[in-house]
């Protein structure tokens, strides 16, 4: 016997709901079709069938970007819930069977990814052959936006500020150190303090990077004009998007920069003898490395495997102590060969 509610809905399919949510996400039929790997006529035809089955118009097609109607917004929000719950079926099956299989899409900061991810991605994918990783370098705002758009599963950021609608997990604190030209007066110091730092002497990342703001907060701006506008005494002002560039600027042009601890583990370059590493005196400034993910309990076993491998790969001085009664993470066993990881860089 056919359920009366099903009769009222007509033949609504998960595929149709997927296409509708894609249009809602992108605000454009062509972009939604490309994201779903179908042609735009196919997407439009399926949406018309969905609207006929529901008996409502989901989108105001006269506007650009395309927006949902008032009733369409309610139905599209519910469609997202339905799709998330449907996606849980294979996820729950694999989790209950202990299978770490499937795709995990992770965003990571450009100031963190090159120093942290190579430490554990190959052991992780060797230990779990069914795991496929897609890694993208993105700024914090990009990671949070992509998580809310459901095009990322998890992200690695450097803040514990609340992220509405998302779940955060503190991973570890990464201390800052000074990277100082050997002829700079601070190079002879045993340790730095906040009072030693001045913005007119520090090479900075560009404004797109949260590490810049953290660096500025640590510096005493001794070249602030009366109107509060920061000036710079150095003849050359170069704001980089890359920590390695900042290292080379210190080595070739003098001054100093602040580096997160893991950036020291990169292979030394030809000019590294021109600079010295000077730690901070207590209280040591740190950045809080945090994993952030969507609230939906999807791919939790994949995220857990990712986090366990990450924590096990950390140097001893960064590894957080295990919680009372908890077992420390065991590093995955590595095998020769390249990791099954697709890395993507948006250039920011």
Q: What is the CATH number of the domain that holds 247?
A: 3.40.190.10
Tell me if 313 is assigned to some domain.
yes
Last residue of a domain, one of 254, 278, 302: 278
Farthest-apart Cα atoms in the chain, separation: 86
Last residue of a domain, one of 248, 278, 308: 278
- Same-domain pairing of 50 and 198: no
Domain that holds residue 185: 174-278
Name every residue whose Cβ is closer than 8 Å to that of residue 87 and which is 6 or more positions away in sequence: 298
- Same-domain pairing of 166 and 182: no
Q: What is the pLDDT of residue 312?
A: 96
- Same-domain pairing of 194 and 270: yes
CB atoms within 10 A of CB 234: 15
In total, how many domains does the chain have?
Answer: 3
Q: What is the pLDDT of residue 85?
A: 82
Tell me if 139 is assigned to some domain.
yes
Tell me if 70 is assigned to some domain.
yes
For the chain, give the number of residues: 348
Q: What is the pLDDT of residue 236?
A: 43
Last residue of a domain, one of 224, 258, 278: 278
Q: What is the pLDDT of residue 190?
A: 95
Nearest to 311 by CA among 111, 144, 120, 161: 120
Q: How far apart are CA 56 and CA 153, in angstroms?
A: 32
Q: What is the pLDDT of residue 8?
A: 55
Parallel, antiparallel, or unpaired: how do β-strands 256-260 and 166-181 relate?
Answer: antiparallel
- Same-domain pairing of 218 and 207: yes
Q: What is the pLDDT of residue 175?
A: 94
- Same-domain pairing of 270 and 185: yes
Contact 148, 166 (CB under 8 A): yes
Place of tokens 């509060």: 228
The C-alpha angle 61, 62, 63, rounded to 5 degrees, equals: 90
- Same-domain pairing of 167 and 194: no
Q: What is the CATH number of the domain that holds 69?
A: 1.10.10.10
- Same-domain pairing of 165 and 295: yes
Name every residue whose Cβ is closer than 8 Å to that of residue 126 and which is 6 or more positions away in sequence: 332, 333, 334, 335, 337, 339
- Same-domain pairing of 262 and 301: no
Q: What is the pLDDT of residue 86?
A: 87
- Same-domain pairing of 295 and 166: yes
Q: What is the pLDDT of residue 217?
A: 57
Tell me if 284 is assigned to some domain.
no
Q: How far is CA 264 from the centre of its chain?
A: 21
Contact 306, 100 (CB under 8 A): no
Strands (E), the chain: 59-60, 67-68, 102-108, 131-137, 154-157, 166-181, 256-260, 275-278, 286-294, 341-345
pLDDT average per 10 residues of sequence, the chain (348 residues): 51 94 95 96 96 94 92 95 84 73 93 94 93 94 92 93 92 94 94 83 64 56 40 46 83 89 73 86 92 84 95 92 54 43 50
- Same-domain pairing of 146 and 159: yes
């Amino acid at each position: 016997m056919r359920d009366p509610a099903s009769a009222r809905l007509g033949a609504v399919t998960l595929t149709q709901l997927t296409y509708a949510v894609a249009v809602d996400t992108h605000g454009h039929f062509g972009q939604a079709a490309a994201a779903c790997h179908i042609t735009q006529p196919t997407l439009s035809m399926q949406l018309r069938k969905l609207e006929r089955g529901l008996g409502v118009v989901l989108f105001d097609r006269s506007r650009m970007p395309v927006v949902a109607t008032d009733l369409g917004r309610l139905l599209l929000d519910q469609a997202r819930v339905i799709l998330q719950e449907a996606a849980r079926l294979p996820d729950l099956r694999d989790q209950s069977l202990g299978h770490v299989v499937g795709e995990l899409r992770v965003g990571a900061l450009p100031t963190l990814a090159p120093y942290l991810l190579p430490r554990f991605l190959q052991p992780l994918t060797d230990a779990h052959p069914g795991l496929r990783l897609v890694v993208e370098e993105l700024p914090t705002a990009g990671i949070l936006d992509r998580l809310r758009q459901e095009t990322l599963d998890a992200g690695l950021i450097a803040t514990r500020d609340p992220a509405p609608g998302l779940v955060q997990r503190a991973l570890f604190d990464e201390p800052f150190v000074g990277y100082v030209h050997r002829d700079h007066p601070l190079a002879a110091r045993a340790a730095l303090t906040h009072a030693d730092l001045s913005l007119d002497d520090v090479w900075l990342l560009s404004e797109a990077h949260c590490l810049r703001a953290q660096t500025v907060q640590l510096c005493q701006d001794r070249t602030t004009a009366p109107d509060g506008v920061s000036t710079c005494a150095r003849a050359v002002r170069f704001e980089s998007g890359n920590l390695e560039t900042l290292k080379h600027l210190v080595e070739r042009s003098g001054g100093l920069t602040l580096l997160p601890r893991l950036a020291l583990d990169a292979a030394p370059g030809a000019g590294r003898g021109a600079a010295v590493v000077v730690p901070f005196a207590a209280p040591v400034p740190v950045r809080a490395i945090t994993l952030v993910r969507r609230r939906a309990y999807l791919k939790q076993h994949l995220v857990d495997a990712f986090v366990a491998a990450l924590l096990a790969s950390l140097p001893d001085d960064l590894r957080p102590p295990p919680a009372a009664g908890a077992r420390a993470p065991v590093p995955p066993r590595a095998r020769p060969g390249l990791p099954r990881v697709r890395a993507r860089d948006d250039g920011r």
